[in-house]
Amino acid sequence: MTTTVPALGTRTADGSALQAVLLDMDGTLVDTEGFWWDVEVEVFASLGHTLDDSWRHVVVGGPMSRSAGFLIEATGADITLAELTVLLNQGFEDRIDRALPLMPGAARLLAELAAHEVPTALVSASHRRIIDRVLATLGPQHFALTVAGDEVPRTKPHPDPYLLAAAGLGADPARCAVIEDTATGVAAAEAAGCRVVVVPSVAPIAPAARRTVVTSLEEVDLPFLRGLMTEMR
C-alpha cells in the first residue's frame, strides 16, 4: 500500500455520512480491460496457443495469479506463472504507453471528489508497477492512498484490499462507496461490507442489496454517492 498524500479525516467536509470513496482502476477509471485480454491473446499466440473468447469472462477483473494460472492450465502452455506474469505486464505497459483512454466521466468524478476533499483510494488487482504508470495519467494527487494486487496477501475477490484501504483512510467500510466494473471486484467490496456502485465493463452484473448498477460514470457524482449512504439509514 502506497500513500500518495496524507490520509484525510473520516468524514467529508460537510459532515456527510459518506466517509470515503474507493475506486477500482482497470475498466472503471481507465478503459483497459480490453488491453489485458488483447495482451493475453498475443502472448499465448506467440506460445502457439489460441485463447477461447469465452475465457475472457473467466479472467476479467481477477488477480494475475488467478487469470494467468487459469490460462496456463486451459491451454497447457509450456510456461511458468512467473514467466507469464513478466510477459503480460510488459505487454500491458507497452499498450498503455501508446494510449491510455479514461472511462467517460472518470476525470470529472476524480476532480469533484478532490474539490470536496472526499478521502479517496485507488484499489486495484494490478501490480504496483502498472498502477504507478497509470497514476501518471490519472493524477496521483487524486488519491490519498493506493493499494496494488501484489501488496496484499489476498487480493480480489477477497475483501482484504478494500479493508486495507478503508483502514488507511480511517473510514468505516460500511460508510465507504466502492466503484467497480467486474464481478470479482464487486465480490471483494461486498465482502468488505462496502456500498458498491457497479459500472459493468465486460460482463453484465445484476443489482442487489447494497449494490447499485449504472451504465457509465457519467451517472455518478458526489450527491449520488452521498445518497447511497442516506438510503442505508
What is the three-class DSSP state of 210? coil
Yes or no: say if 142 and 168 are a contact pair by the CB < 8 Å rule: no
Instruction: List average pLDDT for each run of 10 residues in the chain, which is 233 residues long.
Output: 45 67 96 85 94 84 80 94 92 87 96 97 93 93 96 94 98 97 95 97 89 97 93 61
Q: Return the pLDDT at 42.
A: 94
pTM of the model as a whole: 0.81
Yes or no: say if 146 and 26 are a contact pair by the CB < 8 Å rule: no
Q: Return the pLDDT at 96.
A: 86
How many distinct helices (H) and strands (E) make up the chain? 9, 7
* 4 phi, psi to nearest 5 deg: -100, -30
